[in-house]
Structure 1
């Protein structure tokens, strides 16, 4: 009887494993593989032509700028908010903790529309004063940076909060008792303790920022050669029947995502091995 139960459990586990593999293969691996297949179906020449096109290069440059600013702003904001949520008690803490997850639950289209309403030169709170000062936000790089930063905001925080909770405050209190001020304590104690979590958050934030589409499309105006990011260019090229270029850019974005996944996996394995040792 016991052998039969063990055999049934083993069979169930085997079937569940293959069902999971088939599910991931059909939903993720196969479509991504088709993108790569179509990219190189006619050889390397279309790929070379794609990445020597000035419009494509401009869209990649704009994507890199937006992603870089998103990472910098989210690291600064994420570290500050994470320390605030874990180390301090204050009125509205639960509300702030809930608001941090807002970009994960709200559609990027809604995010983009919100930025338009805030920074519109006709109805926005900040749009008209900024325009009077000669600062253009909507349909320009600042709006793209704002949208990209907003959608990627929770990723750094949600990586750092559990790390700070696990580390505790003993070493920080010991440093302060020895006369260290906050910058010294943060640089010598807190930052080394959270470096792996911070690195995970940076990598995930970068991947999320590079792949953003909905919010950026609303706030950028999708102006060709001016405010068109890589993801927006993929859509435009595909519907303009220039699919070879669309597949080439999509393949590049997919490669970046794959590198991100592998990097996070390696970093997690390394961090776990260091923790165990």
Structure 2
């Protein structure tokens, strides 16, 4: 069969090139240039700034806290995201559209508002604090609050990756498995999960990248106490305001590098999934 090529209509070729140039220039000015300047300034003094980070106990704790909160929040959102995706796609119930729209709330609400809302509910003067429960288990201004805020802002990412794949898979294979005597868990583990594994991986990687870079909500609920509740993103602000710009650039570069690695991993996985 002869190869069919998509041809640009005559008279519109120049428009495509102009549009492509505008998009590239926009991305360079908005993304590439600023990020490259962060990398350039981070290495302006060699590796001294990075050595200083790992020699500072407060900074090491901030990096560890950021990693811990991001991993826990990603694990929570993965389990919740898979469960919610199955609920939205495989079941029908009143209020389903409202719930589906509600899941996008973390993407549309400012993280500062998220942090304030968590303080109002779980703070000392909120509902949780009014019960006296915070005396035994403190949420706000502690690690649980940081995890909760981080999980909130990255909540929809796994769901929005898995839901389209579940729609595409359909229910024929699951129904066939049940007709052969498989129970719900066996059907999920042997039929559903292999079909959505790449979508789950995409969602997990994106959630991890988003969680590592969260600032606004964490700033409100953490208290920003050095060596206790200060995360890496808060340390960037603290160092920059205290005229330690070299240290701020170094921390920002570390966080940006992890995000870039996550994007590269997603791109490789997508290409691999497309070949299969």
- TM-score (norm: length of structure 1): 0.94
Partner of 2:23: 20
Deviations 1:92-134 (A, max 9, x none): 1111111111101111111001100111222x22224363661
Alignment coverage as a number of residue pairs: 269
Partner of 1:154: 156
CA distance in 2, matches of 1:10, 1:179: 59
CA distance in 1, matches of 2:132, 2:43: 46
Work out whether 1:166 is the aligned partner of 2:159: no
Instruction: For residue 51 of structure 1, give the secondary structure of its aligned residue in structure 2.
Output: helix
Q: CA RMSD in A?
A: 1.3
Aligned-pair CA distance for 1:33: 0.5
Deviations 1:237-272 (A, max 9, x none): 000001111100000011011111111111111112
Q: Give yes or no for contact 1:127–1:137 (8 Å, CA) kept in 2.
A: no
Partner of residue 181 from structure 1, selected from 180, 183, 192:
183
Which structure 2 segments of 5+ residues have no match? 1-7
Matches within 5 A, 1:59-208: 59-122=62-125, 124-129=126-131, 131=133, 134-208=136-210
Partner of 1:44: 47
Aligned-pair CA distance for 1:85: 0.3
Question: For the structure 1 residues 119 and 104, does the alpha-carbon distance in structure 2 shift closer, same or farther, using more than 3 Å as the test?
Answer: same
Work out whether 1:210 is the aligned partner of 2:212: yes
CA distance in 2, matches of 1:162, 1:21: 29
Partner of 1:233: 235
Q: Give yes or no for contact 2:213–2:255 (8 Å, CA) kept in 1.
A: yes
